[in-house]
Amino acid sequence: MLSLENRNLTYKRINKTPLRITIHLSTPIVYPLNGIHLDALLTEIVARELFSYDLDRWQNQDKHVELPLPLEKTKGEYPLWKASIGFSSPISREHQDFWIKRTNDEFAGYKSSEIVWPAGVISDVASKSLAKEVNIERATGPANNPASGGFKSYYENRNLLLTDYMIFHAFGNKEEVERLLNSLKAIGKKVAIGFGKINRVEVDEMEDDYSLFTPNEKPARNLPVEDFPNLKSQIIASRTIPPYWSKRELVVCYAPPSPIPVWEWEDDVKITSFEESWFEENMEENDGWFDD
């Protein structure tokens, strides 16, 4: 296993070419709002290889350092890895699912607005509470607060993507990128409960480089405005290196059209959906019906 310094030197020397990475999935993805960045996936794998002994490394951002990757980097004020975000298969479906957690409130406290205190508590006679609501704890034990902390209850929605595969592009070393990604078990959020499981990974060399721009010249990843001026795309505040969830060192960037855009360029032919192919087949069978 290479050390950080030796890995940095090795990654700078190895041959790099345009690549397409196809990650085939066996379960839907819970996708993050900022998209899935290939360089972030590779950074996490390299970090685990180098710092497996540091258990809180991924939670403590103060311990983060920029790690070498088997990718080419851009020049400019904000150098970034030549690696795209994930694009979904043209045949995919987005929907929302809901997660509900209700804390076990057997021993939880409760609120009451009709408390009458017996004589001797706040006066010599039985008295109604002056407060609108009073927090009451059950005598059996401490109360669990369902509004905050580890016993917090929630009801929330999450974005799910059902797709056969995700496509990434990069400019890097095929063998090392493939080796790193083959150790990845899942992508996206909530992988611990079974989402985003990877079936297999394919890494292919290409003639064209789509690590920064799609075939129609739109951003394939977040690009700093200062280094890539005059693009026609939405503008956001984003980091230019992992971790992209962090709010530190944000830069004004051009962004792809959505967190997980659709890849529509397969050998320059757009893959038709099931509905489109069904209508085309039925129109051919009924060709000329209008003239009759």
What digits encode the pLDDT tens for the residues 131-146? 666 666 555 555 556 6
pLDDT at residue 276 greater than cutoff 60: no
238 — pLDDT class (breaks 50, 70, 90): very high
Residue 92's SS3 state is strand
φ, ψ of residue 214 in degrees (nearest 5): -80, 170
Alpha-carbon torsion, ordered 84, 88, 90, 94, to 10 deg:
-140
Sequence-ordered strand ranges (E) for the chain: 17-25, 29-30, 87-88, 92-101, 110-112, 116-117, 127-128, 134-136, 154-163, 165-172, 198-205, 223-224, 235-238, 251-254
Token code pair at residue 221: 């990843």
Please name the residue that has the structure tokens 């795209």. Answer: 84
159 — pLDDT class (breaks 50, 70, 90): confident
C-alpha distance from residue 123 to each of 116, 118, 126, 210 (Å): 11, 8, 7, 78
Alpha-carbon torsion, ordered 255, 85, 257, 95, to 10 deg:
-140
Cis peptide before 261 (omega within 30 of 0): no
> What mean pLDDT comes out for the span 44-55?
81
Total residues found in the chain within this entry: 292
> What mean pLDDT comes out for the span 10-16?
93
158 — pLDDT class (breaks 50, 70, 90): confident
